[in-house]
Amino acid sequence: MEGSLQWLSLLRLAFLFGGAAMALLLVFDARYRGFPVPLYALPLMSLLLLLLAGFETSLFDVEEAVLATLILACALVFIAMERLSNLQALVFGLQMILFAGAATGFRYWRFRLRQGRPKAADQAGA
């Protein structure tokens, strides 16, 4: 079981790296590039199913966060560059945003309270 979770984590990192590379290419050199929606459809569906099933691995925690943030930023940029009139760019951009979020469990894009730091009310009562 442990070995399969390591492979899933490695595959997730590989797809995140590919998604980040594709997003960067679409931002900086998009002239003759298409939007590979089918290429990331199956990994997106599998990541969503694994997320719903409760599988979480954090072997590459920092690397996944960096790649997911890069994908998010680039997807927003190439959606803005292509404007909302280009339906393919909009669909692929939303797919990449959802893909990066599903790969990281949507845990990097929400604010969390710091744990381990006592609140002022707790210190006053002690």
Task: For residue 116, tell me if it sits in a domain.
Answer: no
Are 105 and 51 spatial neighbours (Cβ–Cβ below 8 Å)? yes
pLDDT at residue number 34: 81
Q: How would you label 105-122 residue by residue, b for 16+ Cβ within 10 Å and e otherwise?
A: beebeeeeeeeeeeeeee
Task: For residue 9, tell me if it sits in a domain.
Answer: no
Q: Give the number of other Cβ atoms within 10 Å of residue 20's Cβ.
A: 21
Task: For residue 32, tell me if it sits in a domain.
Answer: no
pTM > 0.85: yes or no: no
Q: Which two tokens stand for residue 34?
A: 């298409």
Task: For residue 86, tell me if it sits in a domain.
Answer: yes
Question: Phi/psi of residue 105, each to 5°?
Answer: 70, 20
Kindly report, residue by residue over 26-62, the tens digit of the pLDDT.
Answer: 888 877 878 888 888 988 898 888 888 877 666 667 8
Q: Where in the sequence is the domain holding 100, given as residue range(s)?
A: 37-107
Task: For residue 58, tell me if it sits in a domain.
Answer: yes
Question: How many structural domains compose the chain?
Answer: 1
pLDDT at residue number 114: 47
pLDDT at residue number 29: 80
